[in-house]
Structure 1
């Protein structure tokens, strides 16, 4: 079903059978672009990611399918978890333009499931003529990384948009929020959106890896310091015992006590002294 490693080579199954294939409408990327995408997928560590995809409300029924068959097929084929957020009672369905679809899975599961959704929207004719399906995806990024994504004077985000072809919108008030994560919006056709998502997810993963390495090094240093301190204390205690104690008749007493005891007269000496005085008096 997935003959090669990249989405540009994929053929999408028809609505009648998940095994029947159709020409890939997204196979217009050049070879360098395709190879770059494959390399990005291979370099990114396997991690569980969450992406919020905003889909036209008009095609939600088609994505769910009869008795949920189509969305179940997406999840089975991609190994991703796909959840369509329900409409609340306070919302007017006729006024809702987009619905949030939350996709959770590995990088491979992400592009497979998103590809099926993109192509289903194309099949439903939501875009007229040669217009490509353009959806908005949201990735929650640690607030501390927003500055790195923006770059000096916005250089990094502009370069990211030029290299991927996607529109990337970063939160303007990220420096003022107390939230640990903020949403980054990615808007574009499937190939552009995937390139941008992979690059951003790579930055997030590298940051997490560096944080974990720092924590491990800190823990190792603490353990080494504790072991060294314990060894020093043990050595000092042993040296003090050796220097200030001696074994006399199987008992441990201090050196000072030994010296003091050696200067005291014995019982026999005391008796002899008394006898000498008596003899002198006589």
Structure 2
């Protein structure tokens, strides 16, 4: 993935109309301090579309905001799809914009994974199909709001997922770990699981529930994390080098320490260092 491609698929809040703070609903919970309906601006959103408590979200009860990732969809919808015309200045398009945003988010998320797959040497036999998928998905992100709303996102995601799964299988096949019983586990529910020190190399953890799992000192190299829920998972001392389809948002949702080995280009969350 080029530097520009990476930039386009990362949130740039300075060029967004605060869409995640308005378009998305949330319920009062451990992740959010109060209820908010879709289309209703968050109480913490300033008139300049910036968050008034951005530096203290976790302490103020908005941990959920710190682990959300739009993959650059916010600035794309704000700057390109609606040509810098905000929902405040054009209230007649506000509802439409709020419905377009989550569609764009899913398209950008797919692009994020596809670009990663393109840069994996094990996926070379799939290069042409992956490249075609990138080009097609990129074209979809440039559609008008009306056409974006007509997309069947679940069906399209299924077609992209087939390519990503093939990529995952090729990458994880490089781990010769057939004697490891953990690799044969078919379960996806690891909520609160005690797995400290387990060899999880080459595991398929796609969509796994790793909430509050004890993954301290686990060897999680070359593991597929796409869609895994890692809220409050303890990654202290774990090795995630070479893992695939992992996002910074997933890392932000977990706990860890300075001994956690992350893939290149990932940052250690501030709350890990407290």
Confirm or deny a common fold (TM above 0.5): no
Bigger relative contact order (CA 8 A; separation at least 6): 1
Larger Rg: 1
TM-score calculated relative to the size of structure 2: 0.25
Structure with more helix by fraction:
1
TM-score calculated relative to the size of structure 1: 0.24
Structure with more strand by fraction:
1
